[in-house]
Amino acid sequence: MRYLFSDRFGGVSKTPFASLNLALHVGDNSQDVKKNRELLAKKIETDRLVFMEQVHKDHIEIVTDTTTQEVLKTDAMISNIKGVGLCVMVADCIPILFYDSFKEVIAVAHAGRQGIALNIANRVIESMIYNFSSKVENIEIFMGPSIKSCCYEVKKDAIKGFENYSYAREDKIYLDIGEKCIEDMLKIGIVPKNIIYSSTCTCCNQKYFSYRRDGKTGRFCGVITL
């Protein structure tokens, strides 16, 4: 298994997508995005990357030999096919990668506030257990850079479901969606030592694309392959 989280650098896109933008839907030149995706494929050493059209819901697709490069309207994918690189695009949401080394199964999830409210990570874990006979204690989790409670200010009505993960500072409210996501996964039996959580905030760190910081910008990726 190989996995990586990309950053802004090493691609061919121009400002404001400079330079390794991996998303076609943000207004970038599609030829540049295609080139960037080729560079990413080379880096992770696979020639078959699969991307999602992400819609902030909790649908999960199982990627098979016949799946094309773009899976429509889904926020998670699971596969046991060798040589397929599952990609999740983000710019503040949490890119979550899953791996069961016993059953050789991989998965990705796009986890923003809405996805986490729908418990998307646990839905993926349950699907790995149901469809691939994974055992929860064998599932490893890699959570990439995402917006943290230092920067994730929300309006009052966005707190619902996150009451225990909201923090007030100077009359403003901030959420820690990663903390809720981790606690949800621990509740169904994910082993704490099997969670690797990046403490990097995408909005604070210029190395990453951040929708909150820049608005019109690119997307970086979490990728996992067998």
Note the residues at the interface with Zn ion (CB under 5 A).
150-151, 201, 203-204
- Quick one: 88 or 201, whose CB is closer to Zn ion? 201
**Maximum separation of any 2 CA atoms in the chain, in Å:** 53
In the complex, least distance from residue 26 CB atom to Zn ion, rounded to whole angstroms: 21
Cβ(147)–Cβ(210) below 8 Å: yes
Q: Pick between residue 19 and residue 205 the one whose CB is nearest to Zn ion.
A: 205
Q: Which is nearer to Zn ion, 86 or 201 (CB)?
A: 201
Nearer to Zn ion, 21 or 210 (CB): 210
DSSP code per residue over the chain: -EEEE--S-S--PPTTSTTT---STTS--HHHHHHHHHHHHHHTT-SEEEEE---SS--EEE--TT--SEE-S-SEEEE--TTEEEEEEESSSEEEEEEETTTTEEEEEEE-HHHHHTTHHHHHHHHHHHHH---GGGEEEEE--B--TTT-EE-GGG-TT-GGGEEEETTEEEE-HHHHHHHHHHHTT--GGGEEE---BTTT-TTS--HHHHSS---EEEEEE-
75 close to 55: Cβ distance less than 8 angstroms: yes
Least spacing, CB of residue 106 vs Zn ion, in Å: 29
Q: How far is the CB of 126 from Zn ion (least distance, A)?
A: 31
Backbone angles phi, psi at 110, to 5 degrees: -100, 110
Q: In angstroms, give the least distance from the CB of 150 to Zn ion.
A: 3
Complex with Zn ion: residue 126 or 153, whichever CB lies closer: 153
Q: How far is the CB of 212 from Zn ion (least distance, A)?
A: 9
Q: How far is the CB of 171 from Zn ion (least distance, A)?
A: 18
The letter for the amino acid at 81 is I
Q: Which is nearer to Zn ion, 76 or 203 (CB)?
A: 203
